[in-house]
A and B are shown apart, each in its own frame.
Chain A
């Protein structure tokens, strides 16, 4: 799950105008760009950054939901949550592989995540505080991610677009699963319903911030659109998400935590109240309540696992040496 709308394209280029024009022609003709095709350096850099951030988001995204695996309130929910978190890890693996087709290694990308050079989606810097968060994350966070990722299935870079097709199928399943958790809570005891409302109150605003800054404040979006890495603007996707989600909240009998939210008859769409961008930028800059803990958890897993990775390499080398000696 990932969407941040923050990635600006790197349009700087040493290529000749003829090369850039020929490349743009392929893009305009909706041809897929494949790993061995010539491409502008900026296009490659933009994709490495975007796919890397997407992969990191999946990996860090395992932590907030992983927080409830050992506490899931029924065995059915425990199994479903485990499978879901495993799916997120699988998406990470896919995406690292897609990025590797552009000439960057998983190790390099991991180092950049741990050093803070590479970012991941800010939504994962909020804590999960109740079982209802497992429902609300699936419903809202995966829901928001799907809006973005459906468009990425048509991204001009072939390996990324193809990875997104499977990822979207799984995310769509996660979204329905999350909503089903919310339905069960809202049909349940007053305490369960209160838990569901509280989760919506906390997760709603961060989830609509996932689409990134308003179009007018979104740097370099234009180049990404031109290269067809990005297909829709941040605000267009956000609007689509809100329009789909408000009726779902009504069905649950929950109150949207936005007193200014209203239906605009002319636009046939919802207008939302002002977004607290100060909070958004604070979290992006590392001041979310969980930023430090998330990276520390990834760093600890990396450090604690170093001897295992070294042993696997050492064993493979020994086995090869023995095989060669026997031949």
Chain B
């Protein structure tokens, strides 16, 4: 059960941490329409995380809740991939990060519709639709910015370079994920590569962007080995909850 729990926590942490990052934009976006769109995307991901945390807590069977999972684990216990914790940077970086994540998660959740696990299938049904929309939304921005002004094209290229090291980790399965994949509970991560390449190549073509070649790929998130940004996310996110142990909100 611990193994499945860790595999579920990886997915939950990815969604919560990226949902948190995107929520940092709320009230500070370039146009009002994006002030509305970004909380929406954030809500999709936090919603997915909540169901998965509740499931992980259920698997542990110690009376824990979704909030215990989110608020009472430290940096080394968080299992998200490195891509989702990357700082927002500028709007180009945020949109590219969202595109990379959604272009992975959409086929992943589609495949998870065939999971042997009821909860995973349930999450997948909703999340696959949401991720298809995120691809469309973020993809359209990547195209606009890549093929917009000289400045926006320059920023988009910088974002491609900056995020390139964090792509490969999406396709790597930890020992926990492999066990869940072997049991037919979760889809095989490496199998999403072709669909991801197809989505990104199509959008990059329209955005006049070239994929980054020859990058050193970073990894470690699934072992709780993160960059320095995650600690600050958790420090902020968990502060009130941890200041009042046992309180109900």
Which residues on A are within 8 Å of B, measured CB to CB?
Answer: 59, 62-63, 66, 69-79, 82-83, 85-86, 89-90, 92-93, 96, 106, 131, 181, 184-185, 187-189, 191-192, 297, 300-301, 304-312, 314-316, 318
Among listed B28-36, B168-176, B185-193, B216-224, interface-contacting one: B28-36
Task: Decide if B249 touches A301 in the complex (CB within 8 Å).
Answer: no
What are the residues of chain A within 8 A of B32 when measuring CB–CB?
A: 59, 89, 92-93, 96, 106
Given known A-B contacts A90-B36, A188-B247, A308-B145, A75 and B49 have beta carbons under 8 A apart: yes
- Whether the Cβ atoms of B147 and A300 lie closer than 8 Å is no
Task: Check B27 against A62 for contact (C-beta < 8 Å).
Answer: yes
Whether B239 contacts A184 by the Cβ 8 Å rule is: no
> Is B225 in the interface zone, CB < 8 Å from A?
no
Which B145-162 residues sit within 8 Å CB-CB of chain A?
Answer: 145, 147-149, 151-152, 155
Chain B contacts with A in 53-110, Cβ cutoff 8 A = 53, 66-67, 70-71, 90-91
Q: A71-B236, A79-B47 are in contact. Are A297 and B28 (CB under 8 A)?
A: yes
When A and B form their complex, what is the total count of cross-chain residue pairs whose Cβ atoms lie within 8 Å?
144
Q: Quick check: which of B1-9, B38-46, B116-124, B131-139 contacts chain A, the rest being far away?
A: B38-46
Cα distance A69–B28 when bound, in Å? 13
Residues of B within 8 A of A297 (CB): 27-28
Residues 13-38 of chain B, each 1 if its beta carbon lies under 8 Å from chain A, else 0: 00010001001101111111101100
Q: How far is the CA of A85 from the CA of B244 in the complex (A)?
A: 25
B residues within 8 A CB of A318?
147-148
Q: Specify the chain B residue showing the minimal Cβ separation from A300.
A: B28
From A78, A188, A311, give the contact of B145 (CB < 8 A): A311
Are B42 and A82 closer than 8 Å at their CB atoms? yes
Most chain A CB inside 10 Å of its own CB: which residue of B35, B53, B143:
B35
**Which of B29, B40, B240, B246 has the most C-beta atoms of chain A within 10 angstroms of its own C-beta?**
B240
What CA separation (Å) do A93 and B30 show in the bound complex? 14
Residues of B within 8 A of A314 (CB): 148-149, 152
| Contacting pair B67 A75 (CB below 8 A) | yes
Answer whether residue B194 sits at the interface, using C-beta atoms and an 8 A cutoff.
no
| CB-defined contacts of B114 to chain A, threshold 8 Å | none
Judge whether B237 is part of the interface by a CB distance below 8 angstroms: yes
**CB-based nearest B residue for A70:** B236
Cα–Cα, bound, A312→B151 (Å):
12
CB atoms of B149 and A93 under 8 A apart: no
Q: Main SS of chain A's interface residues?
A: helix
- Whether B50 is near chain A, meaning CB under 8 Å from some CB there, is yes
Supply 21 A–B pairs (Cβ within 8 Å), ascending by A.
Answer: A66-B27, A69-B26, A71-B239, A73-B71, A73-B241, A73-B249, A76-B50, A76-B249, A78-B23, A82-B23, A85-B26, A106-B32, A188-B248, A297-B28, A309-B30, A310-B149, A310-B152, A311-B144, A315-B143, A315-B145, A316-B144
Q: Which residue of B lies closest to A66 (CB)?
A: B27
Residues from chain B with Cβ under 8 Å of A312 in the complex: 144, 148
Contact A184 B248 (CB under 8 A): yes
Q: Name 10 extra pairs, CB < 8 A, besides A70-B23, A191-B247.
A: A63-B27, A66-B26, A71-B236, A71-B237, A75-B49, A75-B53, A82-B43, A86-B40, A301-B28, A301-B29
Pairwise interchain contact B50-A75, C-beta atoms closer than 8 A: yes
Enumerate chain B residues within 8 angstroms of A96, measured Cβ to Cβ. 32
Q: Which of B20, B26, B31 contacts A309 (CB 8 A)?
A: B31
Given A297-B27, A309-B31, A131:B143 Cβ within 8 A: no
Please indicate the chain B residues that have their CB under 8 angstroms from the CB of A315 in the complex: 143-145, 147-148
A52 CB to closest chain B CB (Å) equals 14
Task: Tell me the bound Cα distance from A192 to B243 in angstroms.
Answer: 11
Give 3 closest A-B pairs by Cβ, nearest first.
A305-B30, A311-B148, A311-B152
Counting chain A CB atoms within 10 Å of each CB, the highest count among B23, B30, B71, B236 belongs to B30
Q: With contacts A85-B26, A315-B144 known, is A74 near B151, CB below 8 A?
A: no
State A83–B40 Cα separation when bound (angstroms).
8
Chain A contacts for B27, CB-based, 8 A? 62-63, 66, 85, 89, 297, 301
Contacts of A66 in B (CB 8 A): 26-27
Instruction: List the B side residues contacting A301 at CB < 8 Å.
Output: 27-30
Quick check: B26 and A86 within 8 Å, CB to CB?
yes
